[in-house]
Amino acid sequence: MPPQRHPSGVNPTRAIAHLASHEAWVDQSGAPFHETLHRATGIVTAVIESQISFTTTCLDGILTCRP
């Protein structure tokens, strides 16, 4: 399957895949997972468009996605 591209041409797939990996425990938070993921896609895309990269940090390490 080819990577998903946002209508602007930016490819947020790797960053969103990382966020989506948390679906297994999202029920514990009570957050609407799919709506949150959709909003995150827009945010990640906007950051990539303006900064050419997107970095997310967590307690286990850092993920930096670049085109």
| pLDDT value at residue 29 | 73
CA–CA separation, 53 vs 14, rounded Å? 11
Q: Say if residues 31 and 40 touch (Cβ distance below 8 Å).
A: no
| pLDDT value at residue 4 | 53
Instruction: Write the DSSP string, 17-34.
Output: HHHHGGGGGGGGTT--HH
Does the pTM of the predicted model rise above 0.85? Answer: no
Selected residue with higher pLDDT from 31 and 62: 31
- Cα 30-11-61 angle, rounded to 5 deg: 60
What is the phi/psi pair of residue 59, to 5°? -70, -20
Selected residue with higher pLDDT from 66 and 21: 21
| pLDDT value at residue 20 | 84
Structure tokens at 48: 């990539």
- For 11-38, write each residue's pLDDT tens digit: 788 888 888 887 877 777 777 888 888 9
